Amino acid sequence: MEVSIIGSGYVGLITGISLAELGHEVTFIDLDEEKIGDINSGKPPIFEKGLEELMKKTKGRYKATTNYRAITETDTTFICVGTPSKEDGSIDLTFIKSAATEIGNALKEKDKFHVIVVKSTVVPGTTEEVVKPIIEKESGKEAFKDFGLAMNPEFLREGNAVEDFFNPDRIVIGVKDEKTKEIMEKFYFPFKCPKLITDIKTAEMIKYASNAFLATKISFANEIGNICKKLGIDAYDVFKGVGLDHRINPSFFRSGIGFGGSCFPKDVKALIAKAEELGENPKLLKAVIDVNERQPLKLIELLKKHITNLEGKTIGILGLAFKPDTDDIRESRAIPIVKSLLEEGAKVIAYDPKAMDNFRELFPQLIYAESAEKVLEKSDAVLIVTEWEEFKNLDYNGHVVVDGRRIEKAKRDARIYEGVCW
Ligand code: UDX
């Protein structure tokens, strides 16, 4: 099929290139000229495992443009623009609205049935109450008759997104009209996983409930982990035992310094704001955020057990990305940790294999080391913030290490070692 993708950020790019791999002809539409240039020359504008190889392999089946008219040459348009948080945590639909406006405009000139798929994470109700009326108004056409609408959430983890696309646990498709349902089923025909067809609002909610649950699981692990720490119990051993209960499941139970990234914090906050708008008080979700905001500061608390006054001390940071295998620092736990160290008057020397350039834009005043070894060599104590593979084999002998991510070698070899929940 001929597919257009609006927004070539990480969701758009992975979705588009993966659809090209499945044999579709894909056109990326984005306002960012640099991204367009990169894509057209087969260069991934973001760092994502396996993407470069896949872009090479599918070359010739995708192209990129800044011109929204390209929509008319395709059968289906996936909306993959960002849905950031506003100041109050509620969802910012600016990019969704402008994508809908551009689609509506383009559809004016198209006679054939066209399907619009919302892939961006949007609060329940958005596709039918925001996207649909804009497209109808701009195009002068009627939804579910002249054009189809579907909501098809993504469950892609950064760093694993290509693999996640091809090996999903499930595919969720929210639709209303039969024609759109058939087209969406065709797209996902090659997949063997369970496919759940729901109404549009339900599909939107499945995405939020999934992310909110995973975030809750992490904050729960951290809360139990904090109690474990005070009792001298290793939270990892506890969750090994807990996770063996098949009703609970062992994954996403890694306690530490909390969750970051572009999804969990933003999505939980957007769900809280939506619930409040509806007159609900989502206490549990608020606690999930609260635990997550305090958790990184546990590292500082533990550090101060060994260095009471941080003024003038050099503190090393290993890892700045919100998780390994990405250069993404959005909501990284390194941010509140570094802020707090600077407030206490510490000098910070940091290293990350991929995320230093991004972090430097936020904190130009840090010393950025050329290697993890240099951080260990130059600092009075080291905080482990991201569990990069290369940190698993460092020589921690003789060092003071406060570990937020459970690096076994540090636990074994450091002169003084503190784990956040163990
Ligand atoms: C997440 C979801 O997993 C994905 O399905 C969704 O659609 C997008 O958001 P992502 O943000 O890429 O993906 O990362 P993920 O691997 O889920 O980790 C998120 C954060 O939680 C990271 O900061 C990670 O360190 C933290 N985490 C994860 C824990 O602290 N403990 C865990 O057990 C798992």
Separation of alpha carbons 257 and 376, rounded Å: 20
Q: Whose CA is nearest to atom 28 of ligand 1?
A: 252
Q: Class assignment of domain 2-198?
A: alpha beta
Closest C-alpha residue for ligand 1 atom 22? 259
158/416 Cα distance (integer angstroms): 33
Residue 177: predicted pLDDT? 97
Residue-wise pLDDT tens digits, 232-278: 999 999 999 999 999 999 999 999 999 999 999 999 999 999 999 99
Contacts of 29 (CB under 8 A, 6+ apart): 4, 5, 6, 7, 8, 64, 65, 66, 67, 68, 70, 71, 102
Best of 323, 332, 403, 407 to mutate for ligand 1, by most ligand atoms within 8 A of CB?
323
What residue ranges line ligand 1, CB within 6 angstroms? 154-158, 211, 214, 218, 252-254, 256, 258-261, 263-264, 322-323
Sequence ranges of the chain with CATH classification 3.40.50.720: 2-198, 199-422
CA distance 416 to 131: 56
Q: Which of 80, 193, 228, 263 is catalytic?
A: 263
Cα–Cα distance measured from residue 413 to residue 408, given in angstroms and rounded to the nearest whole number = 9
**Distance from first CA to last CA of the chain, Å, rounded?**
52
For residue 322, the CA-to-ligand 1 centroid distance in Å is 9
Between the CA of 192 and the centroid of ligand 1 the distance, in Å, is 24
Which of 165, 217, 263, 325 best tests ligand 1's pocket when mutated (most atoms within 8 Å of CB)? 263
Dihedral sign for Cα atoms in the order 203, 205, 206, 210: positive
What global pTM score does this model have?
Answer: 0.96
Contact 185, 196 (CB under 8 A): no
Tens digit of pLDDT at every position of the chain (422 positions):
999 999 999 899 999 999 999 999 999 999 999 999 999 999 999 888 899 999 999 999 999 999 999 999 999 999 999 999 999 999 999 999 999 999 999 999 899 999 999 999 999 999 999 999 999 999 999 999 999 999 999 999 998 999 999 999 999 999 999 999 999 999 999 999 999 999 999 999 999 999 999 999 999 999 999 999 999 999 999 999 999 999 999 999 999 999 999 999 999 999 999 999 999 999 999 999 999 999 999 999 999 999 999 999 999 999 999 999 888 999 999 999 999 999 999 999 999 999 999 999 999 999 999 999 999 999 999 999 999 999 999 999 999 999 999 999 999 999 999 999 99
* Residue 404 neighbours by CB under 8 Å, 6+ apart: 256, 257, 296, 298, 299, 333, 337, 383, 384, 385, 420
Return the pLDDT at 36.
97
Q: Just give the CATH number of 199-422.
A: 3.40.50.720
The CA 218 to ligand 1 mean position distance, Å, reads: 9
Residues in the chain: 422
Q: Which atom of ligand 1 is nearest to the CA of 322?
A: 23
Is 263 noted as a catalytic residue in this protein? yes
Structure-block tokens of residue 186: 């065709």
